[in-house]
Amino acid sequence: MTGVKHMKWWGWGVEGVAFNHENKPAMAPFVKEAVGLDLTKPAIAPMAFEDLDVPASQLSDKLKSALTKAVGETYVITDDMDRVVHTYGKSLRDLLRIRNNVLPRVPDAIVYPADEDQVHAIVEAAVDADAVVIPFGGGSNISGSLEPRADEKRQVISLDMGRMNRVLEIDEESGLARIEAGVLGPDLEQQLNDKGWTIGHYPDSFTHSTLGGWVATRSSGMQSDKYGDIADICKGVRVVQPGTTTVVRPLPSTSTGPSIREMILGSEGRLGVITEVWAQVHRQPEQRVVHAYFFPSFTAGVEAMREIAESDASPSITRVSDARETAFSMATKKAGKGFGQYAEAGLMKFLQVRGWNLDEMCLSFIGYEGSKTHVSMNKAICDRIVKAHGGIGVGTGPGVLYDQKKFDTPYIRDFLLDRGAAGDVSETAAPWSKLIKVYNSGVAAVQKAYEELGTKGWIMCHLSHSYHAGACLYFTFAFVYDEETALEQYDVVKRAIQQSFVDNGGTLSHHHAVGTEHSPWLEQDISAGGVAMMSGLFQAVDSGENFNPGKIINEG
Amino acid sequence: MTGVKHMKWWGWGVEGVAFNHENKPAMAPFVKEAVGLDLTKPAIAPMAFEDLDVPASQLSDKLKSALTKAVGETYVITDDMDRVVHTYGKSLRDLLRIRNNVLPRVPDAIVYPADEDQVHAIVEAAVDADAVVIPFGGGSNISGSLEPRADEKRQVISLDMGRMNRVLEIDEESGLARIEAGVLGPDLEQQLNDKGWTIGHYPDSFTHSTLGGWVATRSSGMQSDKYGDIADICKGVRVVQPGTTTVVRPLPSTSTGPSIREMILGSEGRLGVITEVWAQVHRQPEQRVVHAYFFPSFTAGVEAMREIAESDASPSITRVSDARETAFSMATKKAGKGFGQYAEAGLMKFLQVRGWNLDEMCLSFIGYEGSKTHVSMNKAICDRIVKAHGGIGVGTGPGVLYDQKKFDTPYIRDFLLDRGAAGDVSETAAPWSKLIKVYNSGVAAVQKAYEELGTKGWIMCHLSHSYHAGACLYFTFAFVYDEETALEQYDVVKRAIQQSFVDNGGTLSHHHAVGTEHSPWLEQDISAGGVAMMSGLFQAVDSGENFNPGKIINEG
């Protein structure tokens, strides 16, 4: 046993944890209405692992022996379960393929290094054998960054960083922690919290993603408004490359340009194996609250967030759900929970009296962190702006709920998939002036795709991660799928929304990376010249294409 | 006439503007004491331009004709004055060389494009002729980023961006402005101010540096604590490369990794010609104040700035001069100006009574911007921290003075050079935990160098540009030089301080770029692997080495 735990092979999270709707009385009627799905019907059970056709490992004795020499026998794994778990991430495409026994290429071995020297030994052995190395963190990626190329003829090694999971040191004066790249979110946060610190990085995938994965995919967390994206948090990094370790020392800022740090960020394993990160960490705040608000429309909410971004306030979270996501949130809350002292029915009546169209109503969260004075002063600024845009505060009840539920969303996808609806997410970022256009176009593109497919579907969205110049729009979509053509149906929907992003001034992804899922839009995002620069960089570091080839730059 | 103005060929700034000490009664005695220089002696006049040996232009008729076709006859200049002005930046090395008639290689022509199409035409003509293209902004660089290689056999074109100086549009909703790269600081700020906006970027070179230059060198301004470094401000960019224009669209954030934007930042012309920048701009603040403080020691001041960086306060400027810089500041103020309502003598007496050692006293500035409430709340936090570290506030008088004088410092260097003292600056950034060590080591290294040289010298320093994880230390040094060996003397001092930076955890430069001046320390800064990545990138974009070759990566 390697001691490294993984998510279940067929879906999100760990065995035994699942979403269920029994305690959420509004959900079944809501889903019935939204996509026509009957949640009371029995779910489809995923196929048995034994029924998968897992291609045999092609690991040569020679490479196996070199890898064994590098990490020891216990940590070179060739069994089918581990190999399947390391084949894909957790995108809808991944889940559909694995549930349909689509496994054209599975890594030939999983190797678990204990330290940087062992990573070096693995890398040298792999390059000597002209094998492919794919670094693996928590396996939560949804952009196709982890899979071997289907037609890969060379041996494929999945390099699992799970044993390298320690906070090595905290520079308390500088607020910098040196951390091994394979640590999972909760483990990292526990080690930091024990000493009074936090990294403040909470992506939706937090429970099953790693620090190294965050850096390799340019991740962003829910509290990025305060703590920054991982690109801001990562101040130094160590990367194992053939024959060398590139070291970016922890520095607050530097004019040593073209930034090596920013080449590693988002490199998805193509520039080597990230072994250590110097991350910016913060003392745990004196106070931390998430307040909920309602806006009469999505446009009003977006405009308020823009004004907050321009103001002197510095909240930790700014989030506005559109009307559909608001309705979904209210439908998936547990019976009896919710708006605390505000009786929900009473609130709705109050808003109706004030002339609100409840179908357009949008739920919003604003988070505040810091000293009590800082929190109250920031809240005062935000409250005033919310009010000026017709919004109303409803206290901290829903915020507490949001905080508790925030990492559960991916489980819902599995739940729906078992019941006939395929869902996934697509997100982008754009300047404030283009956000509503990106929003409307995204919704329209997906609805048009549903029409073309002749299926009933759902799309909802929230704004999050505000910056001075713009924000992220995060879309969730789900549709009733056809067993035979589900992947093709997904492609139609996914292509439609991605194309609408780049056509309207958005990027291909704000925090889910490029991988293979988004690479068809790379050139439209960064121009042909940008692709040539990236390609030249990959070629210079990895002329043999041994490091996660096929990712980021589209191979058609 | 091209209509583009330049600094004088032999020094900083424009003809007719110079530093003088007549109205600063404390300066002459101070300089006498510090480095033994007699300011009352007549100054050395710079040599006459006519006495320079300017090598003849090697521009071929063919390339001249192609360039003329590209931009028109008026904008292809081969006269000696323009060529000399475009040979160097304004480092001490540059000034010493130009004053000593050291001009091994001077650009063969200066070309002034009016728009991006013309830049393309220049680039294509230059690459066709296998000529070298060196983009030129304001010419304020002090890292050797602008000079042709001394042994360059090919034709050299200095591509002056001075005609491309317009703010093209402001996206008011997003706080983003599209701006031509050749605009000088004051012109840019004027165009923005006229519409109620500011870029908030004020490097010391502000009056004579350009937006494109800031991006190409990863510049930082005095108010970076609020507005960010240029790397934060630059949200999109257009770069002309042979056969293509790389376009980084304006985006608040993106996960499209390795960041093309961050490859262009700090590229010093090696990846093509920056023609346009999408910059983050801000509404002019309701209030803007700079408060002065005194600390009993540099360590106390640095520790206070660290605590402010960790606090909820978000000042626009954090700056602490060491005791020597404090003494210098007080010696260079005009008679009768200074500490406003605080009679200086009275203040000093007060501090002495409180037990301060006035020789250790350090002047500090903290800037506040925003609404009146924001300013007063932030000031309250900072005041409390200053007080906890033994500091004392002395009002806004010195801050007003600082604001007025802030762009004058480079003139002092010319003034001293004319009078026998050679000075320049070196700056770095390091984590908070290492700052005092970097400070002490830097001072000791330079003092040891003076001893070795047997010359009398001065070194002073301030902390500025605070970040969560650390800050910048900015050293100014000056020594009485020997006419014959001044450059070698400078090398001894410069090498000593740069080596002490990288040896003690600092970067080779926080905001002055690498160029040729700092390239010997590149590998120690970013490791051999980092240099290989950078080199591979340059090679991929510019295999013919036509774009500012020899910069950033050390050629020995």
Average pLDDT of the residues in A254-272: 97
Cα–Cα nearest to A205, from A188, A227, A221: A221
For an interface test with A, which of B255, B276, B372, B534 has the most A Cβ atoms less than 10 Å from its Cβ? B255
Query: Could you count the other beta carbons within 10 Å of the beta carbon of residue B442?
Result: 26
Pairwise CB contact (< 8 Å): A533 & B513: no
Produce one character per residue of B59-82: b if its CB has 16 or more CB atoms within 10 Å, e if not. beeebbebbbebbeeebbbbebeb
ipTM: 0.97
Cα–Cα nearest to B2, from B98, B81, B95, B63: B81
Q: Is the pLDDT of residue B2 over 90?
A: yes
Q: Spell out which residues of chain A touch residue B373, defining contact as CB-CB under 8 Å.
A: 312, 377
Pairwise CB contact (< 8 Å): B256 & A431: no
Q: Spell out which residues of chain A touch residue B264, defining contact as CB-CB under 8 Å.
A: 258
Pairwise CB contact (< 8 Å): A282 & B245: no
Q: Is the pLDDT of residue A425 over 60?
A: yes
Instruction: Judge whether B322 and B298 are in contact, CB under 8 Å.
Output: yes
Distance CA B183, CA B171 (A): 18
**Which carries the bigger pLDDT value, residue A348 or residue A197?**
A197
**Which carries the bigger pLDDT value, residue A409 or residue A89?**
A89
Instruction: Write the DSSP string, A288-350.
Output: EEEEEEEESSHHHHHHHHHHHHHSS---SEEEEE-HHHHHHHHHTSPTT-SSTTS-HHHHHHH
Bridge-based pairing state of the strands A362-370 and A273-280: unpaired
HSE-CB for A272 with a 13 A CA cutoff? 29
Angle between helices A61-71 and A116-128 (to 10 degrees): 170
Distance CA A33, CA A31 (A): 5
Pairwise CB contact (< 8 Å): B266 & A255: yes
Average pLDDT of the residues in A10-22: 86
pLDDT for position A250: 98
Amino acid symbol at A119: V
Percentage of chain B exceeding pLDDT 90 = 87
Pairwise CB contact (< 8 Å): B263 & A533: yes
Among all residues of chain B, which has the CA nearest to that of A214?
Answer: B255
Q: Write the CA distances from B536 to A199, A247, A293, A539, B149, integer angstroms.
A: 33, 17, 51, 8, 20
For B452-508, the pLDDT digits (tens) are 999 999 999 999 999 999 999 999 999 999 999 999 999 999 999 999 999 999 999
Q: Indicate the SS3 state at residue B243.
A: coil
Produce one character per residue of A63-79: b if its CB has 16 or more CB atoms within 10 Å, e if not. bbebbbebbeeebbbbe
Average pLDDT of the residues in B423-451: 98
Q: Is the pLDDT of residue B341 over 50?
A: no
Average pLDDT of the residues in B108-112: 98
Residue with tokens 């510095």: A314
For A82-110, the pLDDT digits (tens) are 999 999 999 999 999 999 999 999 999 99
Q: Write the CA distances from B414 to A236, B45, B411, integer angstroms.
A: 39, 11, 5
Distance CA A211, CA A116 (A): 15
pLDDT for position A339: 54
Angle ∠(B40,B42,B43) on CA atoms, nearest 5: 110
Q: Spell out which residues of chain A touch residue B304, defining contact as CB-CB under 8 Å.
A: none
Q: Is the pLDDT of residue B336 over 70?
A: no
Residue with tokens 């006035």: B358
pLDDT for position B443: 98
pLDDT for position A147: 97
Q: Is the pLDDT of residue A342 over 60?
A: no
For an interface test with B, which of A239, A255, A438 has the most B Cβ atoms less than 10 Å from its Cβ? A255
Cα–Cα nearest to B319, from B209, B464, B188, B456: B464
Q: Spell out which residues of chain A touch residue B266, defining contact as CB-CB under 8 Å.
A: 255-259
Q: Does A438 touch chain B (CB under 8 A)?
A: no
Average pLDDT over chain B, rounded to an integer: 95
Instruction: Write the DSSP string, B483-551.
Output: TTTHHHHHHHHHHHHHHHHHHTT--S-SSS--TTTTGGGHHHHHHHHHHHHHHHHHHHH-TT--BSTTS
Instruction: Judge whether B68 and B491 are in contact, CB under 8 Å.
Output: no
Residue with tokens 């983050």: B280
Q: Spell out which residues of chain B touch residue A318, defining contact as CB-CB under 8 Å.
A: none
Q: Is the pLDDT of residue B177 over 70?
A: yes
Amino acid symbol at A224: S
Q: Write the CA distances from B101 to A277, B10, B12, B215, B411, integer angstroms.
A: 49, 10, 17, 31, 21
Q: Does B537 touch chain A (CB under 8 A)?
A: yes
For an interface test with B, which of A256, A383, A527 has the most B Cβ atoms less than 10 Å from its Cβ? A256
Distance CA B462, CA B357 (A): 19
Q: Could you tell me which residues come within 8 angstroms of residue A500 by beta carbon, excluding any fewer than 6 positions away?
A: A438, A441, A442, A444, A445
Q: Indicate the SS3 state at residue B352.
A: helix
Given B246, B250, B465, which is nearest A469 (Cβ)?
A: B250
**Which carries the bigger pLDDT value, residue B229 or residue A352?**
B229
Q: Indicate the SS3 state at residue A215.
A: helix
Pairwise CB contact (< 8 Å): B262 & A266: no
Pairwise CB contact (< 8 Å): B312 & A505: no
Structure tokens, A334:
């547990």
Beta strands (DSSP E) in A116-228 are 132-136, 156-160, 167-171, 176-180, 197-198
Instruction: Judge whether B375 and B281 are in contact, CB under 8 Å.
Output: no
Torsion, Cα A39 A44 A45 A49, to 10 degrees, reads -140
**Could you tell me which residues are beta bridge partners of residue A423?**
A478
Q: Could you tell me which residues come within 8 angstroms of residue A145 by beta carbon, excluding any fewer than 6 positions away?
A: A89, A216, A217, A268, A269, A513, A514, A515, A516, A548, A551
Q: Is the pLDDT of residue A155 over 80?
A: yes
Q: Does A541 touch chain B (CB under 8 A)?
A: yes
Q: Is the pLDDT of residue A341 over 50?
A: no
- DSSP structural state of residue A25: T
For B148-175, the pLDDT digits (tens) are 999 999 999 999 999 999 999 999 999 9
Q: Spell out which residues of chain A touch residue B276, defining contact as CB-CB under 8 Å.
A: none
For A504-527, the pLDDT digits (tens) are 999 999 999 999 999 999 999 999
For A24-74, the pLDDT digits (tens) are 888 999 999 999 999 988 888 778 999 999 999 999 999 999 999 999 999
Pairwise CB contact (< 8 Å): A244 & B510: no
Q: Number of A to B CB contacts under 8 A, please give it.
A: 316
pLDDT for position B79: 96
Instruction: Judge whether B138 and B182 are in contact, CB under 8 Å.
Output: no
- DSSP structural state of residue B338: S
Q: Which of residues 511-530 of A touch B (CB under 8 A)?
A: 511-514, 522, 525-530
Instruction: Judge whether A239 and A271 are in contact, CB under 8 Å.
Output: yes
pLDDT for position A186: 97
Distance CA A79, CA A249 (A): 38
User: Cα(first)–Cα(last) distance of chain A, in Å?
Assistant: 39
Q: Write the CA distances from A540 to B258, B536, B541, integer angstroms.
A: 14, 5, 11
Burial of A109 per CB tally in 10 Å (0-12, 13-18, 19+): buried
Q: Is the pLDDT of residue A405 over 80?
A: no
pLDDT tier, B343 (very low <50, low <70, confident <90, very high otherwise) = low
Pairwise CB contact (< 8 Å): B262 & A263: yes
HSE-CB for B41 with a 13 A CA cutoff? 12
Average pLDDT over chain A, rounded to an integer: 95
Q: Which of residues 378-437 of A touch B (CB under 8 A)?
A: 429-434
A311 φ, ψ to 5°?
Answer: -80, 180
Percentage of chain B exceeding pLDDT 70 = 98
The residues of B annotated with a catalytic role in the active site are 474
Burial of A523 per CB tally in 10 Å (0-12, 13-18, 19+): middle
For an interface test with B, which of A172, A178, A253 has the most B Cβ atoms less than 10 Å from its Cβ? A253
Q: Is the pLDDT of residue B402 over 80?
A: no
For B41-73, the pLDDT digits (tens) are 888 877 899 999 999 999 999 999 999 999 999
pLDDT for position A319: 97
Pairwise CB contact (< 8 Å): A252 & B529: no
Q: Is the pLDDT of residue A336 over 80?
A: no
